Homo-oligomer: A and B are copies of this chain.
Amino acid sequence: MPIQNALDALSTLLGQRLTRSKSDLELHGRSETHFPLTPPDAVAYPETSAEVSELVKICAAHRVPVVGWGTGTSLEGQAQAVHGGVVVDFSRMNKLLEVRQGDMDAAIQPGLTREELNEELRATGLFFPVDPGANASLGGMAMTRASGTTAVRYGTMRENVMGLEVVLADGRIIRTGSRARKSSAGYDLTGLMVGSEGTLGLITELTLKLHGQPEAITAAICAFDNVDDAVRAVIDTIQLGLAMARIELLDTETVKAFNAYSGATMPECPHLMVEFHGSESGVEEMATTFGEVIAEHDGHGFNWATRPEDRTALWTMRHNGAYAIYAARPGWKSLVTDVCVPISRLADAINETATDLTEAGLYGPILGHVGDGNFHSVIMFDPSDADQFKSVKAASNRMVERALAMGGTATGEHGIGLGKLDYMQAEHGQGWAVMGAVKRALDPDNIMNPGKLVPPSN
């Protein structure tokens, strides 16, 4: 049996750091949301890039699937070993290798989480801004092209990964990018790997852009009578060139869930949450201009959080968004989905989605990173009700079809994984076949996270 031969060789390589215990296999077979358990054949805990390379060479020789694992917080089942094989858990490769303050960059290992990195950076005056909510590993965030609340100001992982070390499907180790801030030297292999969900290789090191901690921060929340007014206010704000660090939309259902879960007392209507970073006077000027824009669009109940503890309370409430919604339907499961559309279509996309969910009799609050045109719905279902899950899935399909018809994308930040594979053909057409050709060129035996991202026939 090739798998047994591979596991024997991996045990020789890694010793106790190759495990086959039932609990470890189950822990690495579960998803954050609704996907069924897919325990792998083994879990490996490498400690060096050389070990990852040897591990992949063994798996390649025996054609055993290799699936990377960070913290398991991806939302579309990206790290699930649907064809079995070896899950590579990067938790032992979690070091901050070097911070170069003058260059505002850092070299890190993939298992380091974003909160760990920012904790280590605290005294340097620098920080890493990409914030998907979960305390995800930075390797995982690169692989899913994660973003979150701050992308409107600081960009996504696409803009903040300068270079990578990657172990390819044949065990070769390559370095992509450089420490220069820009380059025209050939194909952008860093960009090709970011968002590739482990289907082209495993990241063993990252060079990340850092940003200066802002001198001043101010945040606010305000209410609107309807989603259209809120979105129009955001569009005006962007066109004025106000550099918002975050701008989040909560629909009425989300506000109700937040009130219930976090003890907030917001009026039950759509809200915007916003944050500005800059100098003391710069932030003050932005806040004033923003207040004027809000007033033009009948915003009300404007509330500034200038004290750090008030800001923390505000963003903790936002980051607990999914939990607040889960708590509204105890014992139920969730399909957490996201789409991204041109901002001119955002109000339509949200309103049509909300109407659709209501008409289908489903509970799916909507919230999102409105400055990017990116929004989420957390659609709840009773796991004992198979028909309801079908109805949830159908509503999620319609949400994607609507986004594509508006010139948008099936996912702004959650990625493809298992949940969005069915939309790749519709979104990319012949471009999906091109992705398949790139995959075959770099992984001809299809051992890197098989069953994901590229056409199944690949």
CA distance A126 to B174 in the complex (A): 41
CA distance A238 to B214 in the complex (A): 12
With A175-B431, A430-B174 already in contact, the answer to whether A180 and B285 are too (CB < 8 A) is no
Contacts of A344 in B (CB 8 A): 100, 102-103
How would residues 175 to 215 of chain A score, 1 for a CB under 8 Å from any chain B CB and 0 otherwise? 11011111111111101101110000000000000011011
Is there a chain B Cβ closer than 8 Å to A145's Cβ?
yes
> How near does chain B come to A275, taking the closest CB pair, in angstroms?
15
Is there a chain B Cβ closer than 8 Å to A427's Cβ?
yes
CA distance A146 to B437 in the complex (A): 27
Of residues 119 to 155 in A, which have CB atoms within 8 Å of B's CB atoms? 125, 144-147, 151, 155
Cβ contact within 8 Å between A435 and B187: yes
Contact of A179 among B183, B192, B243, B342 (CB under 8 A): B342
Contacts of A173 in B (CB 8 A): 430
Of residues 342 to 373 in A, which have CB atoms within 8 Å of B's CB atoms? 342-344, 372-373
With A195-B187, A441-B440 already in contact, the answer to whether A147 and B182 are too (CB < 8 A) is yes
Cβ contact within 8 Å between B411 and A185: yes
Contacts of A215 in B (CB 8 A): 241
Best-surrounded residue of A238, A281, A373, A434 (most CB of chain B within 10 A): A434
Contact of A186 among B185, B281, B435 (CB under 8 A): B435
Cβ contact within 8 Å between A238 and B104: yes
Contacts of A211 in B (CB 8 A): 241
With A191-B192, A285-B279 already in contact, the answer to whether A185 and B102 are too (CB < 8 A) is no
Cβ contact within 8 Å between B407 and A178: yes
With A182-B374, A186-B195, A412-B183 already in contact, the answer to whether A175 and B429 are too (CB < 8 A) is yes
Is there a chain B Cβ closer than 8 Å to A88's Cβ?
no
CA distance A412 to B216 in the complex (A): 33
Nearest B residue to A173 via CB reads: B430
Cβ contact within 8 Å between B102 and A184: no
CA distance A211 to B105 in the complex (A): 26
How would residues 89 to 106 of chain A score, 1 for a CB under 8 Å from any chain B CB and 0 otherwise? 000000000001111110
Contacts of A343 in B (CB 8 A): 102-103, 181
21 contacts between A and B (CB under 8 A): A100-B344, A145-B188, A173-B430, A174-B434, A179-B341, A179-B408, A180-B407, A180-B409, A182-B340, A182-B372, A183-B412, A184-B409, A185-B427, A187-B438, A187-B453, A188-B191, A188-B194, A189-B428, A189-B435, A191-B192, A281-B285
